[in-house]
Amino acid sequence: MLTDNSLDWACGEALAFGSLLKEGIHVRLSGQDVERGTFSHRHHVLHDQKIDQKVYNQLNDLSENQGEYTVCNSSLSEYAVLGFELGYSMVNPNSLVIWEAQFGDFSNTAQCIIDQFISSGQSKWIRQSGLVMLLPHGYEGMGPEHSSARPERFLQMCNEDDTIDTNHVTLDETYAAQQLHDTNWIVANCTTPANFFHLLRRQVLLPFRKPCIVMTPKSLLRHPQARSPVEEFVSDTSFRRVIFEDGPAKDNGSNVERVIFCTGKVYYDLYAARKQLGLEDKFAVTRVEQIAPFPYDLIKEETNRYPNAELIWAQEEHKNMGAWAFIQPRLNSLVLSDNRGIKYAGRKPSASPATGNKYTHYNEQKQLLAQVFNVPKTSF
């Protein structure tokens, strides 16, 4: 990876933990199979195959005065474990405390903790928490269970208004910090190891504490394009709330036909389809990495860059799920004055998070891409 200057997701996470540990910050990670990672990407605890119960945690052997790294597999009692980690994060506000669900839907049985204490903890109990919840999320055709971390639930519980009056709100350099201060929690869906690295570090470096709900990937853990160069991890870089289009469309301005906003794994599907169709200069794809608080300032900047483009929100989740209901009024409040509105491209409403049939899944993916790029489904 270093030879190719291409670091994967597991390396980005390990760099976040390791850099904090070397700064004397305690890092704590718990959840089902977190020692190796549910998808066998982490391997932070090595087991001796010949000596029973002999283990080695390599991140506790970085330097002499480092912080302690605690990583422990927990039982399948999500309600109890998440409650414990929440309490730990409040008692130890200067630690990075993470609870990872084995699959996103595993948080369902901890919903009481989420609703009663995490989302409303500061408002109800006057207690701040920097707890991070890593919830694997993504439609890979693996069936309804384990496909969705239910981002719509977390977004619905955000305390942010769904419109903004730019005549009375100044979108200056202090705006993003004020949003973080005012929000009840952060909801993110990163697409690069470097951005995930910075998101985790920001949890400790902020001068206050907010819970952070992260829709973490599955297939992107080993996706050949989900890589970051070393230069994106160094000291003069930071978390990017929005990753702007950086291809040929970037400099095509008023000639761009569509701006496609998305979040998470679906970006790589859109990227591949756009390349296949040869539309790199006509269709811009913009990634919303921090969904809440909504990055009004950066989204406004991006829509201004393409004044004649049609605006599309593309998601792999069904229309009544995912971020669409959260995104639509917020983005419209920015662009309706320009006689533009955001349009939806994705799966139709459904009672189930995902189909359990692989053929149907692929067919739905093709339909999604056909809607986004306005081409026949047979193009894919």
Secondary element (H or E) of residue 288: strand 283-288
End-to-end CA distance of the chain: 32
264 is written with which tokens?
């998470």
208 is written with which tokens?
């206050």
Indicate the pLDDT class of residue 107, thresholds 50, 70 and 90.
Answer: very high
- Three-class SS of residue 208? coil
336 is written with which tokens?
């309706």
Indicate the pLDDT class of residue 366, thresholds 50, 70 and 90.
Answer: very high
Would you say residue 1 has pLDDT above 90?
Answer: no
Indicate the pLDDT class of residue 5, thresholds 50, 70 and 90.
Answer: very high
What's the confidence (pLDDT) of residue 302?
96
Task: Please write the tens of the pLDDT for every residue from 67-98.
Answer: 999 999 998 889 999 999 999 999 999 999 99
Share of the chain above pLDDT 70, in %: 100
* Length of the chain as a residue count: 380
Q: Which CATH number fits domain 243-379: 3.30.310.80, 3.10.20.90, 3.30.360.10, 3.40.50.11610?
A: 3.40.50.11610
Secondary element (H or E) of residue 16: helix 9-22
Phi/psi for 366 (5° steps) reads -65, -40
What's the confidence (pLDDT) of residue 142?
87
pTM for the structure as a whole: 0.96
Would you say residue 362 has pLDDT above 90?
Answer: yes
**Best CA proximity match to 12, nearest among 288, 218, 212, 233:** 233
Task: Please write the tens of the pLDDT for every residue from 292-305.
Answer: 999 999 999 999 99
Query: 150 to each of 108, 136, 250, 307, how far by Cα in Å?
Result: 9, 10, 32, 33
What fold does the segment set 9-221 form as a domain?
Rossmann fold (3.40.50)
Would you say residue 168 has pLDDT above 90?
Answer: no
Task: Please write the tens of the pLDDT for every residue from 181-230.
Answer: 999 999 999 999 999 999 999 999 999 999 999 999 999 999 999 999 99
- Three-class SS of residue 38? coil
Q: What is the mean pLDDT of residues 24-33?
A: 96
Per-residue H/E/C for 243-263: ECCCCHHHHCHHHCCEEEEEC
Whether 9-221 shares its CATH topology with 243-379 is answered: yes
Which neighbouring-strand residues pair with 212? 132, 186
Would you say residue 129 has pLDDT above 90?
Answer: yes
Give the residue extent of every domain in the chain. 9-221, 243-379
What's the confidence (pLDDT) of residue 211?
98
What's the confidence (pLDDT) of residue 307?
95
Indicate the pLDDT class of residue 32, thresholds 50, 70 and 90.
Answer: very high
- Three-class SS of residue 212? strand
Task: Please write the tens of the pLDDT for every residue from 249-281.
Answer: 999 999 999 999 999 999 999 999 999 999 999
Question: Are 123 and 184 contacting, i.e. CB atoms less than 8 angstroms apart?
Answer: yes
- Within 8 A by CB and 6+ apart from 272, the residues are none
Which neighbouring-strand residues pair with 287? 243, 262
Would you say residue 140 has pLDDT above 80?
Answer: yes
